[in-house]
A and B are shown apart, each in its own frame.
Chain A
Amino acid sequence: MASEHLPSEFDVVILGTGLVESVVAAACSRVGQRVLHLDRRSYYAGKWASFTLNGLLSWIDEQNTTLASEEQSKDWSALLEEGEDLIGLSTRDVSPVTNLQVFNYTRSPCLLVARSPCLLVARSPCLLVARSPCLLVARSPCLLVARSPCLLVARYQLLRECFCFSEEEVEEEEVEEEVEEEGQDQTPARETEQEEKRRKRLSYAELLKEGRRFNIDLVSKLLYSRGALIDLLIKSNVSRYAEFKNVTRILTCRHGNIEQVPCSRSDVFSSRLLSVVEKRMLMRFLTSCLDQDTPLLYQDFAQRPYLEFLQHHKLSENLQHFLLHSISMATPDTPTATALTATRHFLQCLGRYGNTPFLFPLYGLGEIPQCFCRMCAVFGGIYCLRHSVQAVVVDKSSNRCKAVIDSQGQRISCSHVVLEEGCFTQNATPTRWVSRAVLITDGSVLPSEAEQQVSIVTIPSESPVRLVELCPSSMTCIPGTHLVHLTCQSLGSAFQDLSPVVTRLFQTADSDHHDQRPGVLWCFYFNMSEGLGSEVSELPSNLFVCPGPDGSLGHDHAIAQAELIFQKILPDEDFCPPAPNPEDVLYPGEEPGTGPSHQGEEPQTSPSHQGEEPETSPSPQGEEPQTSPTHQGEEPETSPSHQGEEPETSPSLQGAEPETSPSLQGAEPETSPSHQGKEPETSPSLQGEEPETSPSLQGAEPEKIPVQPENGTQG
């Protein structure tokens, strides 16, 4: 809150709060570096951010307007000393988001204030206040207040019932009766009536009213349960700030239908899509993929397309589709070696937390960078949003950064500088783009008895589309809706790439099918750059640039980059050692054995009291700085407190595991009842993984705070 000046000296100054920057910040702060972490934006996580619906709408506005504002760089030479030079940084995002398009399909009367170009298809009386070019397709009487050129398309009779107040030209267009529209209006089959009733529940106003309960990610990714990010979260204890949901289904789109992909053993045997022969074939194939000796089998194919390899194995078309598109998530011409590596990773991730390989963080992906930021702050990192670095001061002779000039013109000295990508305006040009769409829908693409499903759908196409559908219990959307993310490598604009898929899988105003498919209430297309070309060739040796999000599904690249940068900054330090658990922090003056907190854990020990102990009457403690947490052991205290903690959380984790077995056993009695549906005899690696999860919960706890090797201080 206070607008005091920042300290003028740090070890590491980091600009940008995306995932890579935040991991580096946490890692540095954790080992005692003084970290200043800035972001020029008003929110955390940069391109990794998640927004409420209202937040996203303002963000879209900003993207459309900020391009205009260009700050001229100021002259900071007065702050320079002899032998120093300046590298100016861009003050705005040069890795832009483009082709933003918003579509609103809510059918109830609505008031839409459009500040960005948009298309409104109105089937109920609407009021559209447009400040940007808009297209209003009116099927009901509407009022359009336009401050920008707009196009109003209305059916013949309706045009007379529509009113325009405009400050700019508005084109009005009459459209003769659209036959199909009429057809739709005249078929009040019972089904569609029910549909209508269901869909009428949410209007745009209601979406906006509940807007804060949406958490809409700019980037759509999942966490591989054995990927680098999960490992890092666990290792560093940053995981304490996050909770996850299993992705519960892997789906694919085939012959226009959504089908569930059998991937774990239990799925395979319970799948109705596969014949018995196919089931065996698939299991044999998957098992052999996990075999370390597989390379021998595919040597001839290593660089040849994976599809050829699958055909060579005489797998049925069904299986080829699942293996290629959903399990390896490859394209038909992906080299076999690459596809098999992906397949193996997929299989190894099964069963750790559930029967798909993926987890999704509650409240959205934007939580993850913030978790690392919190860890950084807890260890002393200073945070400042809406604050930037204008220039980097470089020592000419050594070509090393000495300081930065912040957005208030303050010189802050530091020994390392870490920047988000796109800070150098000169020659940063996006090389690859990702096409994205975000939809708020009113139902699942594959309704099922269990309502709260998180699904990933692979949709084969020239540029394969990945669809992630989130349910309300993922805390990203409100009850009655699903939040859908579509992602693909860009061939054209996001709308060109993805709208055909959207029209095929969902009902929009443009769809010509009127069946049970979920309707789209609101949708947003945009393109986001994926990695920038080489920015500046000769960077100072202590300046590092972090990559932004890539188009891949996992986070391994980002985490590897963060670790690499950390190792360059602090070659001799441990990367993200476990942070102590709050209950284990020992304050000076507290006697480990009689520490007050341990009784509180067990109700019976201190029945009368508010959990706190009279006996540890405050000795005139505290002369020592209380800060440095001596967080080892204090055995007597840790164990009870852990026991207290665990039961809340473990059931969910353990609960996830057994789930898989019943279906397996029910489906195919021949399979050995070994849990989690892995082949016992042939895939020892899969097997080996299982036991380690559950026992670890209890077993690992007591020894999980070996943060500092100063044993026995508590004695």
Chain B
Amino acid sequence: MAGGSVSECKEYLFKVLVIGELGVGKTSIIKRYVHQLFSQHYRATIGVDFALKVINWDSKTLVRLQLWDIAGQERFGNMTRVYYKEAVGAFVVFDVTRGSTFEAVSKWKHDLDSKVKLANGSPIPSVLLANKCDQKKDTSNSTSLMDNFCRETGFLGWFETSAKDNINVDEASRFLVENILANDKGLPYEETNGDRIKLHQETVAAESKSGCC
């Protein structure tokens, strides 16, 4: 599918979760990253499942990133397994202007680790995003604190991001994908998925026969 040099180009499809408290900017980050958009107006996310970002990682690698938003409505923390299953990476987002959203980070991380694991049983790589850094008031340098926090809670790292000013969104994503690719080496993706069936919409014509039940 990648032009003529199909054999040389490796394609990956990665499902990445974006989680965090209500209103921390999960959807904004996704939209900034995938659609290059930002909206001041907050609305709970409706009708959008995930966004697809295609990355030409290098000349031999094409990465399709599926960014799964938690439907804002799952805010009570009861996501379905459908949401978590087969995810290979995650962003946990908090809002630097609201301390309570940071306090919830470890809960989200814990929930994440309990619900999804890599094939080898280890937790999926996750990156912490300190979003809305454009609105940050105190400039107290908490870098080492954050580094420590990440080490303790098992994040690969953290980024100060702003969906509004487009700060660090691409960088954070690149960082996560690097780690996913490193993990993915040698995972027998194709082998196990060979006989899986996806259902598709068909031409529903001539469907009259199935009326017997």
Contacts and interface: CB of A to CB of B under 8 A. Distances in A.
A643 B39 contact: no
Nearest to A473: B192
A628 interface: yes
Interface string B138-151: 00000000000000
A289 to B, nearest CB: 11
A564 to B, nearest CB: 16
Interface in A346-377: 348, 353, 359, 362-363, 366-367, 370-371, 373-374, 377
Contact of B80 (A359, A373, A606): A373
| Residue with the highest number of chain B CB atoms closer than 10 Å, among A379, A582, A699 | A582
B21 A378 contact: no
Given A374-B80, A604-B3, A652-B195, A587 B37 contact: yes
Interface stretch (A167-175, A239-247, A300-308, A663-671): A239-247
Contacts of B107: 1
B36 A618 contact: yes
B34 interface: yes
A570 interface: no
B51 A582 contact: yes
Interface stretch (A103-111, A381-389, A512-520): A381-389
A610 B47 contact: no
Contact of A2 (B22, B40, B62, B85): B22
A636 to B, nearest CB: 16
Given A625-B41, A643-B1, A556 B213 contact: yes
B205 A363 contact: no
Interface string A632-654: 00000000010110011110110
A322 interface: no
A700 B107 CA distance: 43
B209 A381 contact: no
A693 to B, nearest CB: 7
Given A587-B35, A604-B3, A621-B39, A649 B198 contact: yes
Contact of B199 (A239, A366, A578, A580): A239
Contacts of B200: 234, 239, 649-650, 653, 696-697, 700
A243 B197 contact: yes
A228 B213 contact: yes
Interface stretch (A93-101, A119-127, A593-601): A593-601
A44 B81 contact: yes
Interface residues of B, number: 72
A610 B50 contact: no
Given A384-B76, A688-B209, A693 B46 contact: no
Interface string A614-631: 001110011101111101
A673 interface: no
Interface in B178-212: 192-207, 209-210, 212
A554 B35 CA distance: 42
Contacts of B9: 603
A188 interface: no
Nearest to B192: A473
B104 A2 contact: yes
A155 B200 CA distance: 60
A689 B209 contact: yes
B29 to A, nearest CB: 13
Contacts of A596: 34-36
A567 B127 CA distance: 45
Contact of B71 (A44, A224, A378, A618): A378
Given A378-B49, A643-B1, A699-B203, A625 B83 contact: no
Given A641-B52, A692-B202, A704-B201, A348 B212 contact: yes
| Residue with the highest number of chain A CB atoms closer than 10 Å, among B71, B75, B193 | B71
B177 to A, nearest CB: 10
Interface string B27-45: 0000100111111110111
A348 B209 contact: yes
B210 to A, nearest CB: 4
Contacts of B206: 688-689, 692
A230 interface: yes
| Residue with the highest number of chain A CB atoms closer than 10 Å, among B39, B83, B107, B194 | B39
A2 B23 CA distance: 12
Nearest to B27: A626
| Residue with the highest number of chain B CB atoms closer than 10 Å, among A242, A244, A603 | A603
| Residue with the highest number of chain A CB atoms closer than 10 Å, among B38, B209, B213 | B213
Contacts of B50: 582
A612 interface: yes
Contacts of B79: 383
Given A378-B46, A582-B50, A239 B56 contact: no
B47 A597 contact: no
A381 B45 CA distance: 11
A66 to B, nearest CB: 20
A124 B140 CA distance: 62
A693 B202 contact: yes
Ranked nearest first, the 3 interchain pairs of A and B with the lowest CB-CB distance are: A622-B39, A600-B54, A696-B202
22 contacts: A1-B107, A227-B213, A228-B213, A230-B199, A235-B201, A239-B198, A240-B49, A348-B210, A378-B71, A380-B73, A382-B76, A385-B78, A556-B213, A603-B2, A603-B3, A622-B41, A625-B41, A627-B45, A629-B46, A649-B198, A656-B197, A700-B201
Interface of A: 1-4, 44, 212, 224, 226-228, 230-231, 233-235, 237, 239-246, 341, 344-345, 348, 353, 359, 362-363, 366-367, 370-371, 373-374, 377-385, 387, 452, 473, 554, 556, 578-580, 582-583, 585, 587, 589-590, 596-597, 600-604, 606-613, 616-618, 621-623, 625-629, 631, 641, 643-644, 647-650, 652-653, 655-656, 685, 688-689, 692-693, 695-697, 699-701, 704
Given A1-B75, A227-B213, A243-B197, 9 more contacts: A234-B202, A378-B48, A380-B47, A618-B38, A622-B39, A627-B47, A628-B46, A631-B47, A653-B200
